[in-house]
Amino acid sequence: MNQKKAILVVSFGTSHVDTLEKTIGAIEHAIAAHFPEYRVYRAFTSRMIIGKLKRVEGIEVDTVKAAMERMLIDGIDTVLVQPTHIINGIENDSMLEDLLEYADRFERVRVGKPLLSSPEDYKKAIHAVMEDVSLEEDEALVLMGHGSDHHANAAYPMLEYTFHLLGYHQVLVGTVEGFPNLRDVMGKLKISDFHKIKLMPFMMVAGDHAKNDMAGEDDSWKCEMEEEGYEVDAVLKGLGELDGIHKILIEHIEEIE
């Protein structure tokens, strides 16, 4: 291994240790296996999650700036940065701002794209999801994304459009904090013939939003759908568990190598 070359994997993060290694950890392992000549580092963009992990679990994770400083100390001269972010949104913008400060402190710093960055990315992500999902004839798949007030939130309606373009008309996409929201999803379900719903997060990790907002026993998407008479199967599985998603992120690193 060339100790002067590194890949920094940047994630929003999660304080749920049960999903951390199954998703973010799995992505990092896949990247390390594909690029054995690089040393792999981890950074989270959420300071709140970094603080909670240290306080509750005793796990220390670097911020982006702390990771860059660590790599300088370790003698790294070439840094490839790959975010696990879904969209080119607020967290990705924040990461890029932090990285700008270090552009001239290494011989080479290159940054890969988030998961959904090109039409081909959308198609590959969709195939990765559908290869992992088994649906009955009268069952819809509802995917819950995070959502944002950032203009990059347009990725979510485009995602649903692309599902339908590829022939997956039984798939609907909603977001917790953006458009389309749960009301929009429920409106579409009401004019459909589906009686069963498979509910899954379209997020890298199946953390707080998936466990509470999506599948919780109180005031969740699952509860609201069940109140409307649907039979709901909530699946707590993050995108980071899917090999097809790992492959997209690895391809994004290959583009900047």
pLDDT at 3: 72
Report residue 219 CA to chain centroid gap: 24
Find the mean pLDDT for residues 242-247: 98
Encoded tokens for 193: 């013939």
Rounded to 5°, the CA angle 55-58-61 comes to 90
Based on DSSP, count helices (H) and strands (E) in the chain, helices before strands: 11, 8
The residue type at 8? L
Q: Is 146 annotated as catalytic?
A: yes
Catalytic residue among 16, 85, 146, 209: 146
pTM of the entire predicted model: 0.95
Distance CA 23, CA 138 (A): 30
Whether 94 contacts 217, CB under 8 Å: no
Q: Compute the 3-state secondary structure of the chain and give helix, strand, coil in percent, each to the nearest 5.
A: 45, 20, 35
pLDDT at 156: 98
pLDDT band at 139 (very low <50, low <70, confident <90, very high): very high
What structural domains does the chain harbor?
5-115+241-256 (3.40.50.1400), 119-238 (3.40.50.1400)
Closest C-alpha to 101, from 75, 60, 67? 67
Closest C-alpha to 175, from 147, 150, 198? 147
